[in-house]
Structure 1
Amino acid sequence: MKLVRFGPSGSEKPGIVAADGSIRDLSSVVDDISGAVLSPAGLDRLRAIDPTTLPAAPAGARLGSCVPMPYNFLAVGLNYADHAAESGMPIPKEPILFNKAPTSISGPDDDVVLLKDSAKSDWEVELAFVIGTEAFNVPAEKALDHIAGYCICNDVSERFWQIESTGQWVKGKSGPTYGPVGPWLVTGDEIADPQALAMTLDLNGNRMQTGSTETMIFGVVELIAYISRFMKLVPGDIITTGTPPGVGMGMKPPVFLKAGDEMVLTVEGLGQQRQKVVAA
């Protein structure tokens, strides 16, 4: 099952993708793709609906993030060994966690608006997962039970503020529009193995990133068990899991985003994002 949110920013409606690819309006059934809707019982309720009985979303409707602004938008750094190498950093012995401000979240095809004075904004195609039921001190064997589904995240990053300057990752990761999420929330039953998904990112038609979640250092199961040792995760929380090599920072010479660029991101089974880059 593929769930979406469509409509103007701040006024999105919940939707479901029908077998023919059309988006159907779920607003007569649920208020949003959040809370108890993301629980196993809530998702089963939506599975029982024939999407063709629901009204179609307006043609060409904007897609928002596939879940609304969460309590927690967490990310994992250097979670691919080859990306750590291109960044000139050692392979971590345990997951590196940081926050992206929830206000960085935007729709999958919304413009990425460069931060004022940004000189080193970069791209990162990532697999993200969304929590469906509260998770705290979760054993690894129960980890997947707490996932509602998966989606794409572009972990846009301002490298000067992240690594140089005072080197605080949250500063370089949290600008408005620096966290496109979606297009779909694909429920866990449709993803047989989250550690076997191909990933790509193109910049202006040129392939920059090609990877697979199979090369993650810490997989989805391990991440849930690890993160839930330190904090309580609640329905709707988003965890984005790291990026394969091919980011602009790692190129020789480095390449960074500029106004007029276009990014296209794919993760196998999770659809596509397309963002234009615009000046502040």
Structure 2
Amino acid sequence: MTWRTPRCLTTRRAELFGELTLKFFMFSRDGQTAVGVRTAGGFIDLTAAGLPATLDAMLASGPDAIDRAESIAKQTRRVEPVLGLRILTPLQKPSKAIAVGLNYVDHAAEIKATTPDYPVLFHRYPSSWVAHDEALQLPKVSNHFDYEGELVVVIGKGGRYISKEHALDHVFGYSIFNDGTLRDYQFKSAQWMMGKNFDRSGAFGPEITTADELPAGARGLRIQTRLNGRVVQSAVTTDMIFDVATLISICSEPFALAPGDIIISGTPAGIGFSRNPPLFMKAGDRCEVEIEGVGTLRNAVAAE
């Protein structure tokens, strides 16, 4: 089965909803999980229309499920209000969540690191992230809790040894991540795993914008992080050292990428650790990550 990213719906969408990008999200209502697609006036419940109850399952089902979701979005005139839904992370259990370190030149410079010739890669476990509007957790063992706004690449078509030339054909869409990091634990050893995987220390969501709604490889998008309304990070995705196609190709060398896997593509300069004095998140703070065309991920910070 050949993967196809969803076709552009501009003509039909204009008739139904006005200008609309195709944004998938997961939610909980009455104790049941479901998949929705946003419209200008609310959302369409795709699960109620017969599609799987998770985006993980929908992507695993292949392009036919996505085509059906597209068809439902085109034909459904009844939309529901989002108000009152509990928004979940867009994916629940990706088989792989690969994070990238030092992927912006200015960020590497601010921590006095050499610009890498090969990406710094580590794993980020699903237990370490929360959904949009859920609180990030400041653990009781550290107060060096840093923010990192990042673009997420969502794999739609699996494969191994994917060429850079064909890598973007494997992308379903893009989302947002706050790679919350406990800096003191990150640098206890040469491995970053401990500082990057505290329970509920990161955030993912709120939606996945399909690849066909954005520039190829999500290039040229403004990414901005705000802490309590103050802009602390601002860059464009074109500034990445390893672009989306390169990251997919490299990540597919040791193991096959599967539908629903994510690549958390790195953060730009402006992290709190590198400021003088350092600027760390604390209980009561509010952090937002906004990416042009993708959306805004918002989370408060609460003490453990």
Q: TM-score, normalised by structure 1?
A: 0.94
Tell me whether 1:45 sits opposite 2:45 in the alignment.
no
2:46–2:72: 8 Å Cα contact kept in structure 1? Answer: no
Which amino acid counterpart does residue 277 of structure 2 have in structure 1?
P
Correspondent of 1:90 among 104, 109, 114: 114
CA contact (8 A) 2:42 2:82 kept: no
Contact kept? 2:59, 2:260, Cα under 8 Å: no
1:255 equivalent to 2:276? Answer no
Higher-Rg member (1/2): 2
How many pairs align?
278
Match of 2:47 among 27, 39, 42: 27
1:24 maps to a residue whose letter is I
Mean CA deviation greater in 48-57 or 118-127: 48-57
SS of the residue 2:68 aligns to: helix
State how far apart, in whole Å, the 2-side matches of 1:5 and 1:54 are: 18
C-alpha separation between the residues in 2 aligned to 1:22 and 1:216?
34
Cα contact 2:224–2:232 (8 A) shared by 1: yes
| 3-state SS of 2:141 partner | coil
Does the 8 A contact of 2:152 with 2:177 survive in 1?
A: yes
RMSD: 1.8
Q: Which residue of 2 aligns with 1:7?
A: 28
Task: Provide the secondary structure at the position in 1 that maps to 2:157.
Answer: coil
- Provide the residue aligned with 1:245 in structure 2: 269
Q: Matched residues in 1 for 2:41 and 2:81: separation?
A: 11
Match of 1:16 among 34, 37, 40: 37
Task: Choose which of 146, 155, 174 in structure 1 pairs with 2:170.
Answer: 146
Q: Distance in 2 between matches of 1:2 and 1:161?
A: 35
SS in 1 for 2:250: helix
Q: Is the 8 A contact 2:95 2:260 kept in 1?
A: yes
Unaligned runs of 5+ in 1: none
Kept in 2: contact 1:72–1:102 (CA 8 A): no
Q: Secondary structure of the residue that 2:268 maps to in structure 1?
A: coil
User: Which amino acid in 2 is paired with 1:119?
Assistant: N
Q: What secondary structure sits across from 1:84 in the alignment?
A: helix
| Distance apart, 1:54 and its partner CA | 5.3
Opposite residue 158 of structure 2, the aligned amino acid is: E
Deviation at 1:140, TM superposition (A): 1.0
Percent identity of paired positions between Structure 1 and Structure 2:
37
Query: Which is further off, 54-63 or 150-159?
Result: 54-63
- What residue is the counterpart of 1:233 in the other structure? 257
Are positions 1:123 and 2:142 aligned together?
no
Native 8 Å contact 1:105 1:178 kept in 2:
yes
What one-letter code is carried by the residue in structure 1 that aligns with 2:206?
Answer: P
Report the CA distance shift for 1:79/1:226 in structure 2 as closer, same or farther (over 3 A): same
Tell me the SS of whatever aligns to 1:43.
helix
- Unaligned 5+ segments in structure 2 are 1-21
Contact 1:69 1:105 in 2 (8 A): no
**What displacement does 1:9 show?**
11
Aligned residue type for 1:175: F
Is this contact kept in 2: 1:200–1:265, CA < 8 A? yes
Q: What displacement does 1:53 show?
A: 4.2
Listed one character per residue, the Cα deviations across residues 239-260 of structure 1 (whole Å, up to 9, x for unaligned) are: 1000111110110111111101
CA distance in structure 1 between the aligned counterparts of 2:284 and 2:30, rounded to whole angstroms:
22
Task: Give the conservation status (yes or no) of the 8 Å contact 2:155–2:260.
Answer: yes
How many angstroms apart in 1 are the aligned matches of 2:225 and 2:139?
Answer: 21
Q: TM-score, normalised by structure 2?
A: 0.87
2:198 is the counterpart of 1:175: yes
